Structure 1
Amino acid sequence: MRHLKWLSVLFIAVLVLSGCNGFTKGDSAKKDKQAEGEDGKVVLDFWTFWGSEIRRPVVEKIVEDFNKSQDKIEVKHTFVPWGDIWTKELASIAAGSPPDVVINDINATALRGEKKQAENLSKYLEKDDISGNFYEELWNATLYEGDSYGIPFNTDTRVLFYNKDAFKEAGLDPEQPPKTWDELWEFAEKLDVKNGDKYDRMGFYPLFGAGTDVWMLNADKVNFIDENDEVKINTPEKLDTLKWLKSWHDKYGDNNINSWQSQMESQQGNPFFSGDLGMLVQQPTFFTQIRDYAPDLNFGVALLPEKEPGNGNTSWGGGFVAEIPYGAKHPDESWEFIKYLTDKEAQEYWAVKNFDNVANKEAAETAAESDEFSEDGKMVYGLAVEAMPHTMLTPTPVVAPDFPTLINPEFDNVYLGKKTPEQALEDAEKKVQKLIDQNK
């Protein structure tokens, strides 16, 4: 979502669908015939949305390596486009012919467990407890009533990129990025180059690359709905954050913000590459754009600045899990493949070849030292690994799965000047509490 990440809203819309068309009994019968190969191997259908010229060969090499590693299971990779995969998966579950393994959104894992759209993995974890292989925050996001319904695969976080040459020009130490919100403002003021009502260079705008929710988590480390289903929207820390964000919006104004935002929609024309934007919050994978489109850029990376000294460098992340759809024909064999997919070797290969953050801690730490990365690549990936223990997720609450649609417009009302931060948070909390009461 723009603030709580649009991805969660997409998954919520998909999850509530029922009776979807597109799979028939004939499809199911055909799949049953294909479930056992001519050589007696169990054939698994593995669905992902990774069809790019970069990612598809990587996932298919992992599948090939798994198939060669044993003689009882053969995995076949099926690419299903991003906009279709989860709708088709739900339709296949309803038709009784789901894929054997699917890559799915981590933040909605508990919701799929509650709706019986994913298999409970507890019986496998009793025998093979691999939970300790992953970052705790990622693992906890897979749990519904204490049981896991998916195994973390890849993830992300948010870090601060900054232009070292712009720092030098503004009289700032390029080896000392801002550490607090106050320093962010101070550094931005020095980096700003104003030309009348316009800017030749903007120092920093916190909502480029990060939503309102990211900064609210950074401030108080509390989700909008906590683990006890208590609404935590209208709190002093979140109010301070919204006022702080509004001050940035007022500083630059709609015209400048919109102009810079439109430039950022072009990968090659990102104003950070040209030095027209001094600092930017982004995912670590943003490095691949720098590598490809601005290879000579002199930049640094840092943890998200903390609200005040000692408050912590909390960031936000998401990611994906490998799960067994409810009703899959070969769950035991699917589990064996998922273990391989999320173990160190496959995870490290994925991390290095895609420059992507992985959920397996040991694989991530090893990848950060890979000789396949440039020195800048090692710097960024190492910082990403450092950021993971400070990174929170926003799991979709079962009691209010679509609550972002209620609070995001309230944040927008503040930036548009239609409501005060106090009124917006009060209204957002009332709406979400009403939703929870209705659902319960």
Structure 2
Amino acid sequence: MKRGLAFFLAVTMIISLLAGCSGEQSAEAEKTKDGKVVIDFWTFWGSETRRPIIEKIVNDYNQSQDKVFVKHTFLPWGDIWTKNLASVAAGNPADVIVNDINTVAQRAENKQVEDISEYVDDSFKQQFYPYLWDTVEQDGKTYAVPFNTDTRLLFYNKKAFKEVGLDPNKPPATWSELEEYARKLDVKNGDKYDRIGFYPLWGSVGASSWMINADGGKGFIADGELAINTPKKVEALNWILDWKEGLGERTVQAFQAEFGSEQSNPFIAGKVSMWIDVGTFYTQLRDYGQDVEFGVAPIPAKEKGAGNWAEGGGFVVEVPKGSKHPKEAMDFIRYLTDVKAQKYWAVKNYDNVANSEAAESALNELKGPDKMVYEATVKNLKQTKMFPVPIDYPDYMSRLNPHIDNALLGKTAPEKALKQAEEDIKKMKK
């Protein structure tokens, strides 16, 4: 009996010690004692960089008031949304979740997210970039709050520019200038390229981005109408094919085979002189390309005055359908998307945030190249377009992409491919 009692006491002591070391367990004990409402906050931010940042914001919120305790739950990318849908269906969801910004309307239509309209007013909405706020409203109701976003810039190698007689402070402004500069920057050794000036499908950009850029920033569905088989989008696909033909399929494939990240990134390695990527690509340059003398600029316009249109993405925070504590969840969301937390996230993560005042104030915390690139991204948001997935065409990209691929592979002429895509997508309208 004594041995059994001693064992029980030892185990109890170990559990107590572990509980004392656990922020979550001690906080939940405090909740039981003080009556705090515990809300579960799901994110996919588990990296060594992002997890400490989001957890500091969560801890700051928990210490800022005595009514709510937020528990941060990390779930891997991909798994988080599968588990969210399952938990909503089971009636036991998280209280706040980070989700994709362009599919809010789909979740609202499928009753997978709470209507939070009663918790927001005009003064709250005005904190955010208007084009981002547009993504979270459906039929006049609000279903999420924008958290962060991105935009794409042209990174160019100033040293390479100087080598070939180009002005390092004058990046290409139009597609024709982009082609002209690229030809000058190409370095060939016989039939082999040692350096390529530019290729439009490398970096964080694809054929659809160039088609939208060419068409005045118009997406594939504009004002509820299909805008796929347009003259400008056909022209853009032909333009990409001209690049591919000019370099040759073998050259393109050979270069791509050597692509990697960090020092192996082709722009950092000096293998490609102009490269389009999201603003956060700068962190790779900063950490692994210290010797690269670079500049940034908007994506060139199709022609002068046509607009330097870029595609954007991002994430929102929302309350899954069936949350037991929507009011408390919204209190946390307000904190998470206010200036203080958004500015902290922007500076520490070098990320574009949705709160416009926070984005501007983050510039005051940055210096040198950090400030130069971040300022360029903030300015570029004015020429960045979001393309929320419309309810009438929920899966249109999966039908469109194969047709674009066929055009790029030379299997179908661009005009025919886009005509077929438009006819195919018309059939799916709800």
Q: TM-score, normalised by structure 1?
A: 0.89
CA change 1:159–1:37 in 2 (3 A) is: farther
Correspondence 1:401 to 2:397: no
What's 2:63 paired with? 68
Structure 1 residue aligned with 2:220, among 217, 224, 231?
224
Report how far residue 207 of structure 1 moved: 1.1
SS at match of 1:271: coil
Q: Does 1:258 align with 2:253?
A: yes
Alignment of 1:78-157 (within 5 A): 78-126=73-121, 129-157=123-151
**Amino acid paired to 2:70:** V
Match of 2:161 in 1: 167
Retained in 2: the 8 A contact 1:190–1:203? yes
CA contact (8 A) 1:98 1:325 kept: yes
Cα deviation for residue 111 of structure 1 reads: 0.7
Quote how far apart the aligned CAs of 1:277 are.
0.4
Residue 353 of structure 1 aligns with an amino acid whose one-letter code is K
Q: Which residue of 2 aligns with 1:385?
A: 378
Q: State the partner residue of 1:9.
A: none
Deviation at 1:34, TM superposition (A): 9.6
Superposed, 1:256-405 pairs within 5 Å as: 256-370=251-365, 373-405=366-398
CA contact (8 A) 1:368 1:385 kept: no
Structure 2 length normalisation: TM-score? Answer: 0.91
SS in 1 for 2:267: helix
State yes or no: 1:180 paired with 2:174: yes
- Pick from 50, 57, 60: which aligns with 2:52? 57
- Rounded to whole Å, the distance in 1 between the matches of 2:208 and 2:400 is 10
Q: 1:59 to 1:369 in 2, by over 3 A?
A: same
Following superposition, the deviation at residue 266 of structure 1 comes to 2.9
C-alpha distance in structure 1 between counterparts of 2:223 and 2:32, whole Å: 45
CA distance in 1, matches of 2:364, 2:201: 31
Deviation, 1:35, is 12
Q: Could you say which residue in structure 2 is the equivalent of 1:6?
A: none
Contact 2:154 2:276 in 1 (8 A): yes
SS at match of 1:104: strand
* Cα deviation code 1:191-246 (max 9, x no counterpart): 01122332111000111120111112212211111232x11100011111111111
> Aligned equivalents of 2:176 and 2:356: distance in 1?
33
Partner of 2:405: 412
Q: In structure 2, do the counterparts of structure 1 residues 98 and 277 end up closer, same or farther at CA, with 3 Å as the change threshold?
A: same
- After TM superposition, give the deviation of residue 261 of structure 1 in Å: 2.4
Match in the other structure for 2:199:
205
Identical-residue share of aligned pairs (%): 55
Partner of 1:233: 228
| Offset, 1:265 | 3.0
What is the SS of the residue equivalent to 2:34?
coil
Unaligned runs of 5+ in 1: 1-32
CA drift at 1:417: 1.0
CA distance in 2, matches of 1:234, 1:111: 25
Cα contact 1:34–1:43 (8 A) shared by 2: no
**Retained in 2: the 8 A contact 1:37–1:43?**
no
* SS in structure 2 at match of 1:50: coil
**Aligned to 2:315, what secondary structure does the other structure show?**
strand
User: Please, which runs of 5 or more residues in structure 2 have no aligned partner?
Assistant: 1-27
Shift in Å, 1:267: 2.7
What amino acid is aligned across from residue 189 of structure 2 in structure 1?
A: N
- Measured after TM superposition, the shift of residue 135 of structure 1 is 1.2
Distance 1:416 1:114, change over 3 A: same
Deviation at 1:407, TM superposition (A): 1.2
Deviation, structure 1 residue 260: 2.5
Secondary structure, counterpart of 1:428 in structure 2 = helix
The count of corresponding residues between Structure 1 and Structure 2 is 401
Instruction: Measure how far apart 1:146 and its partner are.
Output: 2.0
* Offset of residue 136 of structure 1: 1.4
Rounded to whole Å, the distance in 1 between the matches of 2:274 and 2:400 is: 27
CA offsets 1:402-426 (integer angstroms, 9 cap, x no match): 1111111111112211111111111
Secondary structure of 2:296's aligned partner: strand
Alignment-derived partner of residue 421 in structure 1: 414
Change (3 A) 1:36 1:329: farther
Equivalent-residue separation in structure 1 for 2:282 and 2:251 (angstroms): 25
Contact 1:46 1:101 in 2 (8 A): yes
